[in-house]
Chain A
Amino acid sequence: MSVATQSTAVRTGRAGRALIVTVLIFFALFYLLPLGVMVINSLKPLPEITGGNMMALPQEPTLEPWRSAWSTAQIGVQATGLKPYFLNSILMVVPAVAISTMLGALNGYVLTKWRFPGHRWVFGLLLFSCFIPFQIVLIPMARLLGLMGLAGSLPGLILVHVVYGIGFSTLYFRNYYAAFPTELVRAAMIDGAGFFRIFWRIMLPVSGPIAVVCIIWQFTNIWNDFLFGVSFAGLDAMPMTVALNNLVQSSTGVREYNVHFAAAILAALPTLIVYIVAGRYFVRGLMAGSVKG
């Protein structure tokens, strides 16, 4: 990825610039429209949505849809709202991200500074595993989780996310450590520092930026996952995305659009907040996953 930040030297005329700015603003509205409309309509009572204009601001703003989405909406058997599923997602994401990031850091360290014959093969196989369509592992994974007694449980989901997260976390740390001067590691070895000492004292202290990138990437991916959740979570360990889908698709009763919107925003909020706070790292993670150096 390039580090240069200056814009192009190409010069454009005044009419050209006006056109460019218009197009850029049009697309900004295109990207903002769905989110904006969801926020506006999540604050309306239901009749205002079904009988009114989606672009109109709420006449009688209400927070009732949000309260309902969070704590009383009917999802599955009981009317619990999204609260328990939000908790499920948190309990699933935190350990899965922590474990896969730690393993990724260690793997990246070994694959760059302690190379052994065949290290390239190991990395190639890990890299390919990042991109497989997960449909190819659904059947055996369901079998295995059943045999291990982990079907429909949070530990089962955590295991799944760690296993399929290692590829990306290793990729990040490996590419980052590859640029780190090997001479320093060698010098420490001559001084008698061992494998873990070098990792703790030399590698980890410089790993801040890539750790943030990796954590954000894993957090976003695991939080947003639907396929594994719908396949392996059952009713008790259901994560946020699956609960949201169940709420929106449920065919019983009146469709409470305002509640659906509030629920959708609640499901999106954690990753959106991460994006707003640390967008720079999020972008870097996306790029590192595609245009690796």
Chain B
Amino acid sequence: MSAEAMPAATSRADLRGRLQDWLPRLVLSPSVAAMLVFVYGFIAYTIYLSFTGSKMLPSYDWVGFDNYRRLFGLSAWTTALVNLGIFASLYILISVAIGLMLAIFLDQKIRAEGGLRAIYLYPMALSFIVTGTAWKWLLDPGIGIENTMHLWGWESFRFDWIKDRDMAIYTLVIAAVWQSSGFVMAMFLAGLRGIDNEILKAAQIDGASNLSLYRRIVIPMLRPAFLSAFVILAHLAIKSYDLVIALTGGGPGRATELPATFMYSYTFTRNQMGVGAASAVIMLMGVASVIVPYIYAEMRQGDDR
């Protein structure tokens, strides 16, 4: 539908009509141009750099897949990938479990529902740097939770994961779950509120217990919410950078290195721009593999409207 339908009586009106025809595209064009340059052009440029021998500055000597070969030969990158695997799976699993439980419980005609919901969700408004600062200190054995337990008389209490190479990655999970599980709760709660109560009543009349009611009927109906939660959390996990910097700085040693911190340090502090670019490309592929099918499905759904 366009302005062509307007009657063109005079040539001036004709000109105006043609302008009206182009105006929408004209208005959209700065955004489209910005997107093509700053998003897709930049992606292409970074992909190109990942095939060059760039060190401190971009250079344009083609080296083929050398950077990717080097990247996957680096133990720091392998560590980052393994850490991401542990972090992402636990982060998604625990956030979804807590979010689903809180949503189901809040849905039981709880009197202070509004207040509780606000408390569960506020961490999402904070910066990961603030979250990291708070948890860094809570988890510090010298002054945080461990120290408090000692002062309260539980002398043998140990909670020094943040200083422990084998356990530090789990402190990232704790802080990240703290930040986003309330958000997952909100997604599930919206899903629960969309379920037709008549179905539940009918099942109850048929004698279904609460447990089987949720397992057989409610949770399967929440499939779209599960999918959204997975997509959002997975892409947040791959992009995690701020939280690592604020909480552990990637340490102790390399115990909490993730692809995002690896990319930054190789590109900007170790002057290995080619390798850094290659790691960014791998990160993009990870995110795309989660997001693209989701966007594709959503857009096809939009067709029906």
Contact = CB atoms under 8 A, between A and B. Distances in A.
Given A227-B242, A248-B246, A122 B267 contact: no
A14 interface: no
Interface stretch (A60-68, A76-84, A206-214, A274-282): A274-282
A133 B260 contact: yes
**Which interface class (under 10, 10 to 19, 20 to 34, 35 or more) fits A?**
35 or more
A23 B101 contact: yes
Which of A49, A135, A178, A290 has most chain B Cβ within 10 Å? A135
Contacts of A170: 31
Given A31-B119, A195-B23, A282-B125, A37 B134 contact: yes
Contacts of A186: 1
A10 B108 contact: yes
Contacts of A286: 124, 183, 186
Which of B6, B126, B130, B147 has most chain A Cβ within 10 Å? B130
A180 interface: no
Nearest to A247: B133
A195 to B, nearest CB: 4
Interface in B267-287: 267-268, 273, 276-277, 279-281, 283-284, 286-287
Interface string B129-145: 11101111110000110
Contacts of B91: none
Interface residue SS majority, chain A: helix
Interface stretch (A90-98, A148-156, A263-271): A263-271
Contacts of A23: 101, 105
Contacts of A274: 125
Given A27-B120, A34-B134, A114 B24 contact: yes
B130 A226 contact: no
Interface in B167-197: 178, 182-183, 186-187, 190-195, 197
Contact of A35 (B105, B134, B231): B134
A8 B281 contact: no
Contacts of B6: 189-190, 192
Contacts of A32: 119
Interface residues of B, number: 120
Given A4-B194, A166-B34, A271-B127, A110 B143 contact: no
A196 B3 CA distance: 12
Contacts of B288: 128
B46 A137 contact: yes
9 contacts: A103-B30, A129-B35, A135-B280, A189-B3, A195-B20, A260-B133, A268-B126, A271-B127, A275-B125
Given A126-B35, A291-B225, 14 more contacts: A2-B191, A24-B102, A31-B178, A131-B291, A135-B279, A139-B46, A140-B41, A178-B305, A194-B23, A245-B245, A245-B246, A260-B133, A264-B129, A272-B122
Interface of B: 1-3, 5-6, 16, 20, 23-25, 27-28, 30-32, 34-35, 38-43, 45-46, 49, 58, 98, 101-102, 105-110, 113, 116, 118-131, 133-138, 143-144, 147-148, 151-152, 178, 182-183, 186-187, 190-195, 197, 200-201, 204, 210, 213-214, 218, 224-225, 228-229, 231-232, 235, 238-239, 241-242, 245-246, 249, 259-260, 263-264, 267-268, 273, 276-277, 279-281, 283-284, 286-288, 291-292, 295, 298-299, 305
